[in-house]
Amino acid sequence: MKLTTRRILILVPLFVTLFLVQSYFWVPGYEQQATGNPERLGEYISASIGDASILNPILSSDSASSAVESMVFEGLIDRDENLNFRGRLAISWKIYEEAFFYINKEADIPGLGKAGPEEMLRYLLGVKERQIPIDERIRPSIDNIMEITVIPPEDFIVSRPEEGPAGKDVRLLVRAPARIKLTLERVDQDVFTGLTLLLGQDYFYSFPSKAFVGIRDEEESSKLTEESKNKILARYAEQILPATEHNPVISFQLRPGVTFHDGQNFDAEDVKFTYDAIMNPRNLSPRIADYEPVKHVEVIDPLTVRIVYKRLYSPAIGTWSIPIIPEHLLNDEALRGEATQRGMDPDRFTMRHSLFNRRPVGCGPFIFREWKSDQYIALDRFEGYWEGPPNYRRYFYRIVPDLLTQEMEFYAGTVDTYHVQPHQVTRLSSNPNYQSFSGLSFGYTYIGYNMRRPPFDDRRVRLALGMAVDVEKIMRYVLYGQGERITGPFVKQTDFYNHDVRPLPYDPERALRLLSEAGWQRNKRGWLEKEGKRLQFTLITNSGNDTRKAVVAIVQDAWRQIGIDVRTDLIEWSVFVQERVNKADFDALVLGWQMGIEPDLYQIWHSSQSHPHQLNFVGFRNEQADDMIIRIRQEYDHRRQVEDCHRFHELIAREQPYTFLYVGKWTAVLDKRIVIKDVDEQGRVTYNKIAPTKTGNFTFYFNKWIKLREAPSFAAEG
């Protein structure tokens, strides 16, 4: 399995992501694997507490689905073992920028005066060729410019909603002046800052966008008051004609000769279709936020795709690890044909209704074979995989909701790996029969509060709830020391995490004072109440996770001790996600995030992402946070991005939409007979020991894994 950089933020059914298994189909015992059933040596069986929900990577949002999708589908890129981007369906890429600014004929340029497009072009070329002296502070930005051209004036018509009479769209006539196009060798967020020093402080600020935009139709215009007209033009002019515009560009060269599992060639149309499908509102994709900054995707030729962004967006390259879906199976014609064949209304039929989501077709290393709900998903290796077929012939993703059953099946050899529970780490990691791997998870566990509902809309209440929980008790008695405290939303191993933010203290007395300030007082029976209403709510989490079950019990007891009537509920994973989380139908919940390396948290925390089926399901809305999130995702300078992340961390810790609990340490054990098999050009076979990457990902070379009859001896082991 390859290490992906899909930045999508995934709901995790465990405090670490688990592979999956359960005893719904017969699997031979441990000894039979090497003797009575040699076929078993060519099969890998994983286990999980929860089933996948939908096997379409632009629609799914859970880790179980993602784990299977990573075997069936492929993205344009991912990260190698050193965390550098590497090509997958793309063999190379180039990142550069096209920056634009409109000519402001009324502005005086120092040493030049007023200038039209041709004068501006000559001036900038003179600066570029060092014929005109400039402030050397802006020389790096000027030297970064590869080409300067003039875009002639153009007239066009646009429609804008909501402001027209009777609710109709208003058509606006735009007479855009000439503008300058700068092609930059690399993305430069400071290019216009430098040009401001060159052209004057007011050159961009004073550009009169409104002067070039008017109401298109006289009849329509006559129905509007002057106040309404001015309001429309003021609202839309700068949006339509911004004085400056950053357009970062990524150009991908695609890998030739790649086919989907049905034999259809993969090409640039599939990349464009994947983007279009994500952005199609009918599909309700949770990935929209990652691709909204894209201006357009252009197919240059079958093996070249050009992606233009409408603004600075520093995580852009990482988003193209998204698995690519096949255009020929999911385009409008295919969906209408499927709807007709199944007797459904083609006009209401969307990608979410397609049987593709239960029978996916990708171009990854494994082909989908069978899915029996709540039992297993079976995959066969793809003999035509571009990198060569995996060593394993089959892959089974089994659902075993009970962790004890998972453990017993691992001991019996009917599951190939087991993610060790905290209390088992010392014993199993030292067992000579297994190879073990461990590390700090990329993510965290938290208590999330539905801020749409009282009393969670009051910061004092959220703060009090956090102070009433003894997280150190959870660390000692639930995690057995296999975890670390966490205070905010970034991966703790990265420099985006602010280590200066201290954890909430365990202070029940102060918690009661905060609740008192919020109007909650103890009644004669010891319950907190306000205006005759008891402080009562339900804390939920998913079933099948003993760790979260224990956390819920400790939290419930802590809150009851200070007078909160809290109930608890454990809900089967798919119902928990689809009916409670996606629909924001909960009071408080215990859950976890599996994070990516990039610091873009738009999907989890931005106000626009708080609707049903989106990931800000706690309903956190904060204008200052929104501004910070945008700055972080547009900042290409790492140092400044880190500074912004630290400030955002402080804000989230102050507002406490979550009570941040811990990041778990994970340990996984694997049969020692599983090794990496390499074959050189002469056909000679060597076996190598499995080793984790820098992130602790020990499955990076999964496609080269194989199970032997006996564990080999490695020199490093003596």
Q: Of 53-57, 406-410, 425-429, 552-556, where does mean pLDDT reach its minimum?
A: 425-429
Number of H helices, E strands in the chain: 21, 30
pLDDT surpasses 50 at 24: no
β-pair partners for 567: 538
Average pLDDT over residues 605-634: 94
β-pair partners for 665: 440
User: Which residues, in sequence order, are CB contacts of 682 under 8 Å at separation 6+?
Assistant: none
Distance CA 634, CA 312 (A): 5
* Burial of 133 from C-beta contacts in 10 A (0-12 / 13-18 / 19+): exposed
pLDDT score at 223: 65
Distance CA 70, CA 387 (A): 15
Averaged pLDDT score across all residues of the chain: 90
pTM value is 0.76
| pLDDT tier at 429, thresholds 50, 70, 90 | confident
Q: Class assignment of domain 10-85+333-440+667-717? A: alpha beta
- Note the pLDDT tens digit of each residue in 343-392: 999 999 999 999 999 999 999 999 999 999 999 999 999 999 999 999 99
pLDDT score at 528: 97
More confident residue, 337 or 12: 337
pLDDT score at 222: 65
- The bridge status of strand 705-707 relative to strand 43-48 is unpaired
- Note the pLDDT tens digit of each residue in 87-125: 999 999 999 999 999 999 999 999 899 999 999 999 999
pLDDT score at 162: 56
**CA distance between the termini of the chain:** 29
> Does the domain formed by 443-666 have CATH 3.10.105.10?
yes
Q: How many CB atoms sit inside 10 A of residue 221's CB?
A: 15
Distance CA 316, CA 294 (A): 9
DSSP helix/strand/coil, 630: helix
In contact, 275 and 268? CB cutoff 8 Å = no
pLDDT score at 717: 44
pLDDT surpasses 90 at 7: no
| pLDDT tier at 148, thresholds 50, 70, 90 | very high
Distance CA 285, CA 60 (A): 8
pLDDT score at 431: 86
Domain positions in the chain:
10-85+333-440+667-717, 95-248, 443-666
pLDDT score at 219: 62
Q: Of 198-212, 231-245, 476-490, 535-549, where does mean pLDDT reach its minimum?
A: 231-245
